[in-house]
Amino acid sequence: MIFRDKGNEIVAAMNGRAVALGDVDEPIFAGKVVGDGVAIIPSSGTAVAPISGTVSFVGPQKHTYGITGFDGIEVLLHIGIDTVKLDGEGFTPKVQKGDRVSVGDVICEVDLDVLRAKHFDTTSPLIITSASIDKVKRLTLRTGEAAAGQTVVMRYVLNK
């Protein structure tokens, strides 16, 4: 897909390789049921804020993070596939609901070795949630190697 230099930016939340959401081995994400975006196959366990805004939720199992940007768009980071089953093991949140964050602020430390040892897929969807996607007129995605807090992996233009 052609990556245009227009629209609001969402950066990679983790170091690694950004892949198309359709390539994720989980129908809920691949089918874009919970929203649209990319997934990161992480090379390190530090997760950062992909946008500036307010932490709208931290999942009770510490593997999901929602951030609502100042424009009202909510972005979800879901660290790993089926990691809800770990009940928080291997995840150390660095934020809580209501915290204000800037792009690149650390939101979670993840022990990827724990996930791998228990045979969990570390692929981490980064999406604009289904509750927000209807506000988006155009979404452009970028795949390939990505640096957390730096590489733009999505751009979106809001409906007027």
Q: Which parts of 46-117 are beta strand (E)?
A: 46-48, 53-58, 64-69, 74-78, 91-93, 100-101, 106-110
First to last CA, the chain: 24
- Report the alpha-carbon distance of residue 56 to residue 73 in Å, rounded: 11
Instruction: Verify whether residue 78 is a known catalytic residue.
Output: yes
Catalytic residue among 75, 78, 123, 132: 78
User: Which two three-digit tokens encode residue 117?
Assistant: 């040892």
User: Which two three-digit tokens encode residue 16?
Assistant: 């690694």
Report residue 18 CA to chain centroid gap: 10
Burial class (CB in 10 A: 0-12, 13-18, 19+), 131: middle
Q: Which residues are catalytic?
A: 78
